[in-house]
Amino acid sequence: MSTPNQLLPSNPKANYLAHKGEIDAAIARVLDSGWYILGQEVATFENEFAAYIGVRFAIGVGSGTEALHLALRACAVGEGDEVITVSHTAVATVAAIELCGAMPVLVDIKPNTYTIDPNQIEDAITQRTKAIIPVHLYGHPADMEGIMNIARRYELWAIEDCAQAHGATYKGRKTGAWGHIAAFSFYPTKNLGAIGDGGMVATDDPGLAERVKLLRQYGWQERYISDLSGLNSRLDELQAAILRVKLRYLDEENQRRQALAEVYDQSLSVTHLTLPMCIPGTSHVYHQYVVRSEQRDSLREFLRERGVGTLIHYPVPIHRQPAYQGRLQCVGSMVNTERAAGEILSLPMYPELPSGQARQVAEAIISWHRSQGV
């Protein structure tokens, strides 16, 4: 629980207040229209988002988890198939695989970017492997060139999990435009966040796009006639209208995150903390600013006592979680994943965070560092 004076690790309300006039007007526009499901706001936002990512199609759905689920379903991933991804991710990545009836196969991450290590993927491929899900964690792109080379060689689907990487780029192209299909989340704390749940599937493939459109609404091509066995997963008009406002500011707000990351980088360079890395040829959009320390818990408690809120993304790898014992496969060592889980800490990061407060966080960390006698 936060105290009244605590500096929050994220603050979606601040983002609403930053655009309050435009968002309130967008909400009023929808309410006055009388059309609340799959109307003009959703269709227009889908077109605007596709253009922003650099793909031909975008399909609004109910959440980021459902975006992954429907992307997998569109690729005909199902019972008896295997999907390779990482254990160091939000549980939604693996939950979506299980929703299809497929088996999650987990491999280790790179220690510097926390994204899937392409060198671990080939050892995990079997005759049952159908897809790879690279997760662009914390806002840093995965090694999509290496991943796509493997996907092409083994004729696998590459499904990007872009839930934390809206606007990030890899070798000049945005995340979401590299794989066969991609999934985005609009959870309120994301770089592009709704005021509620929402998600998007993006692809250049017209066949995949059409399947997702059918799947998101009971498989209907003609109303009440199901051509596919689908479900109900629709981005509603209110959220689409809000997201249309916020999309216009996404690049500016990502640049603000990068500026805050620079404040942290410069200030914390005198400590023993491992700071985030941005691989050349990529842009990091800092959904989270994640540091590492073997004394992570001591640091977190020190900051909490001084009113600084932090989070751990994520404290328990999925292969160690009770719900998934015996229900997935791990291939190779998880040494980087397990070490990261014990050392990572997410510092306050959101576009409205004043630079002075970021410096105060850094100063508190430096005080802790000195108290350790390092």
Taking only the tens of pLDDT, the chain with its 374 residues reads: 344 468 999 999 999 999 999 999 999 999 999 999 999 999 999 999 999 999 999 999 999 999 999 999 999 999 999 999 999 999 999 999 999 999 999 999 999 999 999 999 999 999 999 999 999 999 999 999 999 999 999 999 999 999 999 999 999 999 999 999 999 999 999 999 999 999 999 999 999 999 999 999 998 888 889 888 999 999 999 999 999 999 999 999 999 999 999 999 999 999 999 999 999 999 999 999 999 999 999 999 999 999 999 999 999 999 999 999 999 999 999 999 999 999 999 999 999 999 999 999 999 999 999 998 75
**Which pLDDT score, from 0 to 100, does residue 6 have?**
86
Query: What pLDDT, on the 0 to 100 scale, is given for residue 374?
Result: 59
90 within a domain of the structure (yes/no): yes
Contact assessment for residue 11 and residue 349, using Cβ atoms and an 8 Å cutoff: no
Q: Write down the residue that tokens 């796509």 correspond to.
A: 148
pLDDT score at 3:
47
Domain boundary among 223, 247, 271: 247
Q: What angle do CA 131, 133, 136 make, to 5 degrees?
A: 160
On whether residue 7 sits in a domain, the answer given is no
Residues 166 and 199 in one domain: yes
Rounded Cα gap, residues 68 and 347, in angstroms: 27
In a domain, 31, yes or no: yes
Can you tell me which residue has the tokens 């216009």? 248
**Is residue 180 domain-shared with residue 89, that is, in the same domain?**
yes
Q: What is the CA radius of gyration of the chain?
A: 21
**Is 137 a member of any domain?**
yes
Per the structure, the count of domains in the chain is 2
**Same domain? 157 vs 143:** yes
The alpha carbon of 245 is separated from its chain's Cα centroid by a whole number of angstroms, namely 20
Residues paired with residue 217 on neighbouring β-strands, in sequence order: 232
Spatial distance between the Cα atoms of 17 and 237, rounded to a whole number of angstroms:
20
Looking at the fold, whether 272 and 309 belong to one and the same domain comes out as: yes
Q: What is the C-alpha to C-alpha distance for residues 239 and 226, in angstroms, rounded to an integer?
A: 26
Residues 74 and 210 placed together within one structural domain of the fold: yes
Question: Is 8 among the domain residues?
Answer: no
Looking at the fold, whether 318 and 193 belong to one and the same domain comes out as no
201 and 233 within one domain: yes
Whether residue 177 lies inside any domain: the answer is yes
Domain hosting 164: range is 13-107+114-247
* Cis? peptide before 36, omega within 30° of 0: no
Query: Which among 193, 221, 247 is the end of a domain?
Result: 247
Instruction: Give the residue from 193, 216, 247 where a domain finishes.
Output: 247
Residues 243 and 262 in one domain: no
User: What CA–CA distance (Å, rounded) separates 260 from 109?
Assistant: 26
CATH number at residue 327: 3.90.1150.10
230 and 84 housed in the same domain: yes
Whether 146 and 80 share a structural domain? yes
Residue 1 lies in a domain: no
pTM as predicted: 0.97
CATH assignment of the domain containing 71: 3.40.640.10
For the record, the structure tokens of 263 come out as: 């404040």
Residues 189 and 73 in one domain: yes
Task: Show the 3-state SS of the chain.
Answer: CCCCCCECCCCHHHHHHHCHHHHHHHHHHHHHHCCCECCHHHHHHHHHHHHHHCCCEEEEECCHHHHHHHHHHHCCCCCCCEEEEECCCCHHHHHHHHHCCCEEEEECECCCCCCECHHHHHHHCCCCEEEECCECHHHCCCCHHHHHHHHHHHCCEEEEECCCCCCCEECCEECCCCCCEEEEECCCCCCCCCCCCCEEEEECCHHHHHHHHHHCECCEEECCEECCCCCECCCEHHHHHHHHHHHCCHHHHHHHHHHHHHHHHHHHCCCCCECCCCCCCEECCCCCEEEECCCHHHHHHHHHHCCECCECCCCCCHHHCHHHCCCCEECCCCHHHHHHHHHEEEECCCCCCCHHHHHHHHHHHHHHHHHCCC
- Virtual torsion, Cα 321, 323, 329, 333, nearest 10 deg: 10
Q: Are 5 and 307 in contact, with CB atoms under 8 Å apart?
A: yes
**Within a domain: 4:** no
Q: Are residues 243 and 280 in the same domain?
A: no
